A and B are shown apart, each in its own frame.
Chain A
């Protein structure tokens, strides 16, 4: 596992930076263009959630190794309001705002592994991994 890179997410241009960095790492890892596109899209969704619902936070991007393969692990963390009902938030089409409600569920489908932890009043952390 390499050190990892932390990107603050405070405004909508930071989401672009996350997309660009994830793309760069995915290319470096040797992911094909479809897999690159999937992981960048998932990252874009989660970074936007961190910004819009979490009130800002940061992303940690790292290259990880396991079982003889390498992957990209992306963590999105905020100290926002948290999610009361994670099951509901994961439903396709559910949005407490004016979104399409496809960010969390879609990011899960676009990743190899997906993990969400959220505590009301403390914040939210979503970790996704895409193995090569």
Chain B
């Protein structure tokens, strides 16, 4: 047996890259197609909760391999029943291109037709329609996506409702689904600072090779890192094969924000500051992102995170308690259970790494880090027994300190990281996402598109 580990194969066996880079071919593919301008998904109050462009990007650049497009009805049904694609590979969420009845009437397409999708008024991608189907009841769909206490008693503690942002996304879908493969025909250009951190799976695998990284552990984030996060990353990375992981990758989920979140720009540059300040030296640390309007599906979200990072070439993935959770809909350990024993009601009698057509990335389930005044160090909750004296890193506590303009001590927030926060605070006149940020983000997105005359 070999004790050494190397990058796992992509989920599904091969990386999808559905991007046409030849403008001549792009024009040919789009010629004469009916045109549809991508619109954000709005909740009942008209607030944007999702933009399908992010899904198209993540599918076409291979983050969600082996998914190739908007799903057919049978595929969505299979995902809801057993969290598997029609080709048997496990996958947590339905992904669909949904439009209103009025738009469908106007578009007038059917199976076999091709639609040119425009983003910000420019040609972006094509959708080859293989099936048109309808979501009969989006609320019922939303419940089935996330589970119910009756159907998923192992992990679902309370019924999902309009306070859950992921549930709201599915509830807000339009009724008509155009199912079929996406192909990007006009590559969007990321604005600064996103351009610096864009590392789709083919590129990330190349980058690991260039750096000589055989083992890479991923840290999922939607946060500016405090020192507790930094210690989680550094200590989780002690796993590996016969030595600690060569690389620590931070992959941020970039998508629709909620008020009070840190701006995406601060998150990316805050993590980068961790290596620019040499707290984790740049040779060992890599910051990147994935476009996705987070569904907050805790165990389901963790499965998607595993797929994304396995596709990127990571060997390991750290999972904490309450991973990608909001509220108390799921049991606190639901994610760790999925990766440890499996969740039968979601279709997994065993760990998602032990089932057929499952994942090859290794979970590293972690508890928490706190400051211990007795140990006089940042300690791991399962090592340090000074539970009475511990001082926890609380995200909301730190947000409060930042908001009050108090310069945080470096044992809580590295000064370089704090400076990245203040840099973007000056740009947005606010340290967190406010209404203005949310509106601007919806309008500008993360990209601009070059002209392409089709």
Q: Do A and B come from one complex?
A: no
Interface residues of B (CB under 8 A from A): none
